[in-house]
Structure 1
Amino acid sequence: MYWIAAAEESGLPFYFTLVYVVGFIAAVGIGSVAWYNSKRPAGWEDKDRPKFIPKVETPEQGDEEA
């Protein structure tokens, strides 16, 4: 409730703030899927993808088994 009251007092419309919050959450979610489905940087090669991240097939990964 504090955030809603703060948004109303700051002069920003509630929906304007809501769009930014939802957009940020979507960007983090999409970025996480992209990160876990990409080639791993140094030190992360042996780490497994979490179960809740969907596997995205790309033409480069065609015959590889993960």
Structure 2
Amino acid sequence: MICYRDRTFCIADCTRTDCDVRMTPEVQAGADRWWAGFPGPAPIATGDRSAHCEYHQPKEQPDG
């Protein structure tokens, strides 16, 4: 199966904004433009890559 940009975009709850694999609205928009004219949503591979990311910065969790 093909997917947008042949990569897996990260959906982890992370504070980093400079990550080139972070799933963002801009990535979604690019995928939608790339897939325009084909039926269904653009194929985008996503996953939580935080377990193996040396740059992952988790968001603060509220005490509870």
Q: TM-score range by the shorter chain?
A: under 0.3
Per the normalisation by structure 2, the TM-score is 0.26
Greater relative contact order (Cα 8 A, min sep 6): structure 1 or 2? 2
Query: Which structure's CA Rg is the greater one?
Result: 1
TM superposition score normalised by structure 1: 0.26
